[in-house]
């Protein structure tokens, strides 16, 4: 697979999993790293419901840009093959519960002995240590423990779960990718590898750093949905329009707030007290009534591109079609799947176009041959008994 981008000098071994680990591997692959994904050969179940449908490989964009190798890691030959791949790699990524890789004989001590400069990246929900390290959990649980989920609640309403955005991907996968790049830079200088313990809990807490700072300074209320950045303020929220669709407003600074009042005919002198929190509920009701007077498209014609700090709330189908996103190439369509394109952009080491999702195991023979495996060894690794 042709590589382009600032990480085209890195080779990454990814042990296939769900959520944050493949997201981190996708980010590295997007930046040009050669990512070899070790997939487990699985008997087809025929079921296309629940998690089986969610992880259908042809729509799993988190798996794009990989070379896939089938290995049965529970067999001795499969484990030894994985270690031979590790010997040629710069980075390893895994997202299993603490102790799983050790039980397979593929833990950090073993892999770093084979490849002393290896960056061994691990991501879990609770972290490698702590009272909850071995407990099961999902994104909603990890962000709940850090205060991040609490911040999604409306006043006097329940918190709103987010589909992996804060925890799995922002707090987990992106944190792991950042840690991997940091450790790879250090290893290039020292020649020594190390293990990265990326916890979704730690990462989602980190994403809330600004809010924790404001709370400590007395600038953020304990009650969710009553603050200037969580929907409590009339000048920072999403509002329903006449057609039932929504727009977002973030007119926090005085010049932007004045423009909002001007363009939305908010002439009531009560709006002069922008930061009087006691008045926010009443002012919010007036703003909501104002936005109900026009459709979303009418508000776009009036406000979009201005300093009101405005944007329509677009659906997943609408967002890729917006002129700004189209001009930037924010989304790409590959094999009929519309998905976010690689980001960020680089002036000199530009990344390749968005890569497709390959077939699991498609590169098993070519990758193993490259690593010096004989035809007989490859045949032994790919026999039906390896299927689990």
Point out the catalytic residue in the list 138, 150, 197, 202. 138
Both tokens assigned to 387: 């299927």
Answer whether 258's CB lies under 8 Å from 252's CB. no
pLDDT of 45 reads: 58
Whether 150 is catalytic: no
- State phi, psi for 369 to the nearest 5 degrees: -60, -40
Domains of the chain: 11-207+331-386 (3.40.50.10540), 236-240+246-312 (3.30.1540.10)
What confidence score (pLDDT) does residue 378 get? 86
* CA distances for 359 relative to 57, 113, 248, 363, angstroms: 8, 32, 40, 9
- C-alpha 364/C-alpha 377 separation (Å) is 12
Q: Which of 292, 178, 316 is nearest to 244 (CA)?
A: 292
Q: How far apart are the C-alpha atoms of 318 and 284, rounded to whole Å?
A: 27
Please tell me the distance from the alpha carbon of residue 224 to that of residue 211, in angstroms, as a whole number. 11
The token pair at 73 is: 């890691």
**pLDDT tens sequence across 340-384:** 999 999 999 999 999 999 999 999 999 999 989 988 888 888 665
Catalytic residue among 30, 39, 90, 168: 168
**Segments of the chain with pLDDT less than 50:** 1, 385-388
Q: Which two tokens stand for residue 230?
A: 């969580």
The DSSP bridge pattern shows strands 194-199 and 34-39 to be: unpaired
Backbone angles phi, psi at 102, to 5 degrees: -65, -40
**DSSP secondary structure letters along 133-194:** TTS---HHHHHHHTTTTGGGPPTTS-----SSIIIIIIIIIHHHHHHHHHHHHHHHHH---E
pLDDT of residue 188: 96
Token pair in block for residue 6: 């600032």
Q: What is the pLDDT of residue 385?
A: 44
- From CA 97, how far away is CA 137, in angstroms rounded? 10
Note the pLDDT of residue 316: 97
The whole-angstrom separation of Cα 324 and Cα 354 is 19
Cis peptide before 61 (omega within 30 of 0): no
Active-site residue, 138 included: yes
Which pLDDT value is given to residue 41? 80
* Order of all β-strands in the sheet with 11-15: 66-70, 34-39, 11-15, 91-94, 119-124, 194-199
| CA angle (129 as vertex; 123, 133 as ends), nearest 5 | 75
The three-class DSSP label of residue 240 is strand
Contact between 194 and 120 under an 8 Å Cβ cutoff? The reply is yes
* Distance in angstroms (rounded) separating the CA atoms of residues 236 and 274: 11
What distance, in Å, lies between the first and last C-alpha atoms of the chain? Answer: 28
The partner residues of 351 in beta bridges, in order of sequence, read none
Amino acid 4: pLDDT: 84
Question: The tokens of 131 are what?
Answer: 């009272």
Strand, helix or coil for residue 98: coil
CA 93 remoteness from chain centre: 15
Tell me whether strands 337-340 and 331-334 are parallel, antiparallel or unpaired.
antiparallel
pTM of the predicted structure, to 2 decimals: 0.93
């Amino acid at each position: 697979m042709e590589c382009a981008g600032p990480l085209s000098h890195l080779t990454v071994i990814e042990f296939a999993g769900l959520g944050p680990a493949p997201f981190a591997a996708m980010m590295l692959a997007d930046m040009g790293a050669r990512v070899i994904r070790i997939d487990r050969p699985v008997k087809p179940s025929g079921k296309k419901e629940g998690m089986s449908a969610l992880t259908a490989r042809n729509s799993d964009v988190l798996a794009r840009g990989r070379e896939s190798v089938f290995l049965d890691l529970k067999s001795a030959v499969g484990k030894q093959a994985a270690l031979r791949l590790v010997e040629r790699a710069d980075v390893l990524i895994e997202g299993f519960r603490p102790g799983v890789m050790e039980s397979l004989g593929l833990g950090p001590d073993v892999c770093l002995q084979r490849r002393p400069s290896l960056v061994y990246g691990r991501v879990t929900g609770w972290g490698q240590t702590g009272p909850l390290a071995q407990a099961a959990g999902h994104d909603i649980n990890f962000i709940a423990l850090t205060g991040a989920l609490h911040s999604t609640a409306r006043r006097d309403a329940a918190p709103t779960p987010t589909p992996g955005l804060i925890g799995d991907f922002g707090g987990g996968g992106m944190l792991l990718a950042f840690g991997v790049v940091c450790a790879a830079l250090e290893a290039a200088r020292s020649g020594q590898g190390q293990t990265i313990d990326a916890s979704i809990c730690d990462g989602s807490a980190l994403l809330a750093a600004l809010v924790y700072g404001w709370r400590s300074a007395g600038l953020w209320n304990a009650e969710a949905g009553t603050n200037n950045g969580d929907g409590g303020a009339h000048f920072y929220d999403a509002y329903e329009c006449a057609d039932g669709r929504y727009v977002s407003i973030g007119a926090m600074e005085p010049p932007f707030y004045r423009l909002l009042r001007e363009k939305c005919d908010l002439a009531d002198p009560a709006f002069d007290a922008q930061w009087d929190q006691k008045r926010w509920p009443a002012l919010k009701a007036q703003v909501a009534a104002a936005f109900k007077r026009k459709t979303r498209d009418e508000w776009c014609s009036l406000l979009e591109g201005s300093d009101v700090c405005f944007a329509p709330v677009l659906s997943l189908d609408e967002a890729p079609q917006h002129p700004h996103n189209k001009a930037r190439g924010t989304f790409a369509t590959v094999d009929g799947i519309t998905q976010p394109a690689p980001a960020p952009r680089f002036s000199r080491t530009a990344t390749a176009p968005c890569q497709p999702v390959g077939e699991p195991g498609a590169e098993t023979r070519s990758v193993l041959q490259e690593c010096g495996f004989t035809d007989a060894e490859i045949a032994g690794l790919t026999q039906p008994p390896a299927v689990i």
